[in-house]
Amino acid sequence: MATDIPHQTTSETTAGGELVRFEKVTKRFGATTVLDRLDFTVSQGKHVTLIGPSGSGKTTILRLLMTLLTPDDGRILVDGQPLDAEVRKKIGMVFQQFNLFPNMRVLRNVTEAPVHVLGLSKDEAVERAKGLLEMVGLGGKLDAYPTQLSGGQQQRVAIARALAMRPQVLLLDEVTSALDPELVAGVLDVLRDIARSTDITMLCVTHEMNFARDISDRVLMFDEGRVIESGPPEQIFGAPEHERTREFLSAVH
């Protein structure tokens, strides 16, 4: 199964080196400063989870990386290069609301970008897509339209769609928040699998603390646009130092 999943490590990337770097990144919406000179890095192959109260700027970070927003100040480097449309191809994203293309069948949702962005042949793209859809447990739904699937199934298609681009970094923004409770586990299991069996880098926003504990190498606690505490999951969940972290964790549990 691991062969279906991205392993891409470009020559210029040294294993364990920095893949994502935020340097004094500031983002404002009107008068409110959402991110204030934020610094953080994510190393190659690591799984980093962002936690923190709603409105603390977690989604903003992912959207900046995806170039859906531009910073007002500071800079973002990915694999040592300033973020632009070309560098963005190293990044994949899964959204809270899935955002599958409803006018395309499942298979084409997954082949569309590999064919038209990476230049894969139709056959190569179909083969890659089938492998990934198999992996997320939807090998039997290739010809379905997204609206014929449950939310959990749609989200798993969205994961396959992102992975089909062989990104180096996968951004996950509360990917189970829009799901009915009984569908959450299926999606998280797929992500656990990917985290365990590939060397893809993950930057993950989630309120699923057990999941965060399982997959994370590092957890960043956010509050008011700043990292107030970071460390391995055992430390953040087991012995948080910051009062705000303790409050937040007891509130979500």
Partner 1 sequence: MKTWDWSYTGHVLPDLLRGLLVTLEATALGSVLAFLLGLVWALALRTPTRWVRWPVGAVVEFIRNTPLLVQLFFLFYVLPTAGITFSPLTTGVIGLGLHYSTYTAEVYRAGIDGVPVGQWEAATALSLPRRRTWIAVILPQAIRRVVPALGNYVIAMFKDTPMLAAITVLDMLKQAEEAGAESFRYTEPITVVGLLFVLIAYPTSLLMRALERRLGN
Ligand X SMILES: Nc1ncnc2c1ncn2[C@@H]1O[C@H](COP(=O)(O)OP(=O)(O)O)[C@@H](O)[C@H]1O
- Binding status of residue 207 toward partner 1 by CB under 8 A: no
- Binding status of residue 59 toward Mg ion by CB under 5 A: yes
Q: Is the CB of 204 or the CB of 236 nearer to Mg ion? A: 204
- Binding status of residue 104 toward partner 1 by CB under 8 A: yes
| 29, 70, 81, 117: which one binds partner 1 (CB under 8 A) | 117
**Per residue, what are the HEC states of 171-210?**
EEECCCCCCCHHHHHHHHHHHHHHHHHCCCEEEEECCCHH
Q: Is the CB of 59 or the CB of 153 nearer to Mg ion? A: 59
- Binding status of residue 54 toward ligand X by CB under 6 A: yes
Q: Could you tell me which of 177, 196, 165 has the C-alpha nearest to residue 66?
A: 165
Burial class (CB in 10 A: 0-12, 13-18, 19+), 169: buried
100, 109 contact by CB (below 8 A): yes
Residues near Mg ion (CB under 5 A), total: 1
- Binding status of residue 34 toward ligand X by CB under 6 A: yes
Q: Is the CB of 61 or the CB of 106 nearer to Mg ion? A: 61
Q: Could you tell me which of 63, 112, 87, 97 has the C-alpha nearest to residue 12?
A: 87
Which position has the token pair 């006018």?
A: 103
Q: Which residues bind Mg ion (CB under 5 A)?
A: 59
Q: Which residues bind ligand X (CB under 6 A)?
A: 29, 34, 52, 54-60
Q: Which residues bind partner 1 (CB under 8 A)?
A: 66-68, 85, 88-89, 91-93, 95, 97, 99-104, 112-113, 116-117, 161-162, 165
